Structure 1
């Protein structure tokens, strides 16, 4: 798979990709309130919540390669591969959730 240094750089990259998808998507998506008349803070918080799962998927580059690696790790008896994939999923989830919390903090929990 990857050596230790590359693994942690990949995990960090996935964290920040997920963080960026939530913050960027909810921020840019809020511009729609200029056309729709919806309340901007509520819309931003709502979008951040809806983008969390998509940020996770985007950070992992689609879930099929991750699921395939977990499957081959289990079937091949390589638990280190499974553990690495789970850690990558946790890093991506952490990034998306922290992005969501940042948006909630900026909108003062309007969602």
Structure 2
């Protein structure tokens, strides 16, 4: 269980970091390009989320192969683990997106 939990925490951190880092650096670049950093950061955070998940789980093909090959033979433990890694990565990417949305909110 220690290995599973360690990888899950790392996947969460990677997905969170990809969204946060990409959005923040995109915001800095938008200042240089004389565009609105808040709008750019929100746009990037929304559109980079899926790629953050892909980066965190290590690509799209290998996890899907693990799911497919183990599911058909009835070995559901690796299938469950891969699905949990994808879910945890999604949570990290979503939290990063929500943080960027919160940071870029306008006060009204």
Same fold (TM over 0.5): yes
In the TM superposition, what are the counterparts of 1:1-111 in structure 2 within 5 Å?
4-108=1-105
d(CA) in 2 for partners of 1:14, 1:42: 27
TM-superposed CA distance for 1:40, in Å, is: 0.7
What is the TM-score normalised by the length of structure 1? 0.91
Alignment gaps of 5+ in structure 2: none
Q: Secondary structure at the match of 1:108?
A: coil
TM-superposed CA distance for 1:33, in Å, is: 1.3
What is the TM-score normalised by the length of structure 2? 0.94
- Structure 1 segments (4+ residues) deviating >3 Å: none
TM-superposed CA distance for 1:36, in Å, is: 2.1
Counting matched residue pairs gives 107
